[in-house]
Each structure stands twice: as structure tokens, then as C-alpha cells.
Amino acid sequence: MTRFRMPALSRLALAGAAALAVVASALAPAATGAPASAADRPEYVALGDSYSAGVFVRPWDAGDGCGRSYRNYPHQVAERFGYRLKDVTCGAAEIVDGILEPQPSDKILGPPTIPPEGGWPELPPQLEALSEDTDVVTVGVGGNSLGFGAVLAKCLELGLTQPLKTKPCTDYYTGSGAGADWLQDRFAQVDADFGRMMTAIHAASPHARVVVGYPAIVPDNSGCSFLHWNQLGSVKKGDMPWLDGLERRLNDLLHRHAGHQNATYADTYESSVGHGVCESGDAKWMYGIRDNLTGDGDQTDPPTELCNDIPGTGEACTLVHPNARGLDNQAREVAKVLQRGGGTHPGLLTAPQG
């Protein structure tokens, strides 16, 4: 604990957990039979943030700082259905800074977490990957725009600085708490921006739209231990139900927008309940604040100076993202959406309840 400095942790959690948040996407029905050539295969474009990119799950693409895992649901779905994949997902992407507009260099956070000299180049808007010929579109975004990273950082800070309170973060963001109005304003902005994004996706690729929700992080706090950094570190147990409710509220917003746009909603939350950050072994589908890497191969992510300020023995500052088992579950749920589509024209797909 003596190495822990809260300002550094706050900056790190804000940067990384921008990866949080849960996911929107658009999909066309699966093709039957083996296509004659790559050009004949349906084109699938994957848009989204770190939860869609699958950051910190080996093996990942180390070329542009987006951290896209070759095990993420876009890759698994494309392989299963024979799609020609264009994966432009990127860790830390936001609805505006990432999907609708360029993603600035200072919002490209890896892995690799340590950028090359001069930083990563700015990325073009993910929306530019779409065209009228795109057959399948998935989009998973919203958590970074909401500021989930800032919320998590505040919960970590308050857990340490207000030790006598059982739910200091809940108190801060609800009722007359100092952060309540800020959070309400963020939800209103996400609501407006998400609707604008869905309209833009439909205009660019009118064939299909699927919205993918975020998986469960901490629906049950019974397995959590205070100051265990492969879980939620200094977040108090009393604040975990509120954090879960915050995520479900964001998922509800994504689900609602899917319905407004005649899109399909892929629910990854319900199937991941009981597999959150406080579980252990194979039951754990979510990385903690600092955790050991999962996936195939031996890639590592050398810790930054900020990461070294976080206690714990985990090999990387994974900052609450799905691990390899979590990515596999996302892929199963998105594949179910495609299967349900059958031969129906994608514009007629309806959002499932749940």
C-alpha cells in the first residue's frame, strides 16, 4: 500500500476503463455453404471500443495501439459464418471520438500500453469503414462516453479515503451527492450521441444493425474481497450493487436505441451473471484491476509507471475487461443473434427481450 498514489490510479483507471462499457452492433443473416471466393463472402464490419476489441486477451494486434484480440467476437463470428471481416474496433473508443469522428492519439491506450516514440497516430472515424456493400455491422460502444473509467476511479479513491463509509461511491453519485448531476448529464449526452450514431450507421450501411450489450462485471458482490486487485481493489462491497445497476442502465439505453432503429440487441449480460470479476478459476470471465493475462501465446504488456503504482501481482493492468472466457461468451451470444435471423431480411430483425 505504501506505493499507492491515488492521482496516478485515477488517471490510469480513467484511461483504461474507458474500455468499459457494453456494445452495439449490426448483423446480417449467415450465408449457407462455402463461398466460391473471398469477394463473394458477406462483408462484416465490426465497430466498437475495448469490450469489442477484446483488449488484453492474447494474441492481440500490436500495430496501432487498439489492442484488438484475434479471439474477440468479431473474429470468432466471422470465422463461424464465413464473413469477410473488417475489424476497426479500438480500445478507449467513444461514440464521438472513435466512431463518428477521429480517435485522437491521446485516446489510444493499447495494448501495447507503452506507445512508440511520438505516440500512436490518430485513427480515422470507424464509420468510414462502412459502405452500401457492407452486409453485417456490429457496434459495441458507450461505456467510455459515459465516463465509466472516471466513475471507477472515483469509487477506488473513495474506498480508500472514506474507510468508515460502507457505500461512499453510491452516496457520491446519487441523491444530493456531488457527482449526481454530472452523471445525469453524461447519460443525457450518451443518449443523444448514440441515437445520432445509429442513424449514421444506417445511412452508411442500410442492410443490418445489431446492438451488443456489455457483459456482467459484478452482479454479485459475495465473492469480492477488499484490496484484492485482481478483483475490484479498493471499491467497497456496498458500492458494487450500484455499479452493477449503472451498467444495467447503460445496457437498457443501448437496447432501447436498438428498438428505435429496427436493430437487434445482443444481450451478453444475462449469460455472464455468476461469472464476474469476483469469481475465481474458470468461473471468472472478467479481468480485475490488475490481473494475469489469458489467451493463447506469450504476449506481455510491460507495465507503465502509472501501472506500477497499482499494488498486486498481476502481470498487466487489465482494468476490468472480459478475459478469454468472456470473449468466448460474447461470441456465442452474437452468433445466437445471427442464427435467430435465419433468412429474414436484416431490416426486419427485432430486438430480443432480456
Grid cell digits, residue 2: 505504501
| Per-residue pLDDT tens digits of the chain, which is 354 residues long | 333 344 343 433 333 333 333 333 333 333 444 444 677 899 999 999 999 999 999 999 999 999 999 999 999 999 999 999 999 999 999 999 999 999 999 999 999 999 999 999 999 999 999 999 999 999 999 999 999 999 999 999 999 999 999 999 999 999 999 999 999 999 999 999 999 999 999 999 987 779 999 999 998 888 899 999 999 999 999 999 999 999 999 999 999 999 998 899 999 999 999 999 999 999 999 999 999 999 999 999 999 999 999 998 999 999 999 999 999 999 999 999 988 863 233 432 322 222
**Per-residue pLDDT at 28:** 36
Tens-place pLDDT, residues 222-265: 889 999 999 999 999 999 999 999 999 999 999 999 999 889 99
**Per-residue pLDDT at 37:** 67
Grid cell digits, residue 52: 469489442
With cell 433468412, the residue in question is: 343
Write the burial class of residue 33 (CB in 10 Å: 0-12 exposed, 13-18 middle, 19+ buried).
exposed
Predicted structure pTM score: 0.87
For the chain, the distance separating the N- and C-terminal CA atoms, rounded to the nearest angstrom, is: 41
Task: Report how far apart, in Å, the C-alpha atoms of 213 and of each of 73, 112, 164, 195, 307 are.
Answer: 13, 26, 35, 15, 28
With cell 485522437, the residue in question is: 104
Say if residues 341 and 264 touch (Cβ distance below 8 Å).
yes
Contacts of 293 (CB under 8 A, 6+ apart): 56, 57, 58, 299, 300, 301, 315, 316, 318
